[in-house]
Amino acid sequence: MTKTPAAPRPYDHFASPIDDRYFEDYVPGAVHRFGEIRVTAQDIIDFARRYDPQDFHTDPEKAAQTIFGGIIASGWMTGSLMMRMYADHYLTHNASLASPGIDELRWPAPVRPGDVLGTRVTIVEARRSTTKPDRGIVRSKIEVLNQRDEVVMSMLAMNLIACRTPSPA
């Protein structure tokens, strides 16, 4: 007997637009997918020359002789591209209060020229602060995917977000 695979989970949509989004709009278990950025060889080289000048990021001829077989993007560039998509589509524009940090940053696959990157964010936890009830902390699993849906970067992020309504007394 052949088992039919489960249908992929549809992606969630926020109830509020990004300019009117608060802590209450970040629902644990929700999965959001957004963004699209095409990466060029020149983008990779320009970023690396400035911030991560290793040969496999800056020199196509030398990069061809490495384990990567060609030029790849710096992981820090991938993180910067993720942040652009995250800020444009996920992180509230009106109630973000900063981030206390990230955990478990990984780059499991290289980003190559011509890749088109997008982002998938799963809300892992959302809890209101007990010491500052006007805000909450949202923990999100962020995955950057290429055009083949391969994860090229992942991390757990924490964001402090203002609440729409005060905490019940």
The string of pLDDT tens digits covering residues 117-134 is 999 999 999 999 999 999
Taking all residues of the chain, what is their mean pLDDT, rounded to a whole number?
Answer: 93
CA–CA gap between residue 36 and residue 138 (Å, rounded): 24
CATH assignment of 18-162, among 3.30.230.10, 3.40.640.10, 3.40.50.300, 3.10.129.10:
3.10.129.10
The distance in angstroms from the start CA to the end CA of the chain is 56
CA–CA gap between residue 28 and residue 8 (Å, rounded): 18
Work out the average pLDDT over 28-53: 97
Identify the bridge partners of residue 155 per DSSP, sorted by sequence position.
142
- Entry pTM: 0.90
pLDDT at residue 44 in the model: 98
SS3 20: helix
pLDDT at residue 13 in the model: 86
Give 69's pLDDT tier (boundaries 50, 70, 90).
very high
Tokens, residue 25: 């709009």
pLDDT at residue 9 greater than cutoff 80:
no
CA–CA gap between residue 113 and residue 86 (Å, rounded): 21
pLDDT at residue 6 greater than cutoff 80:
no
Asked whether 146 and 78 are in contact (CB, 8 A), the reply is: no
Single-letter amino acid code for the residue at 166: P
Asked whether 158 and 26 are in contact (CB, 8 A), the reply is: no
CA–CA gap between residue 120 and residue 154 (Å, rounded): 10
Work out the average pLDDT over 89-100: 95
Give 10's pLDDT tier (boundaries 50, 70, 90).
low
pLDDT at residue 166 in the model: 74
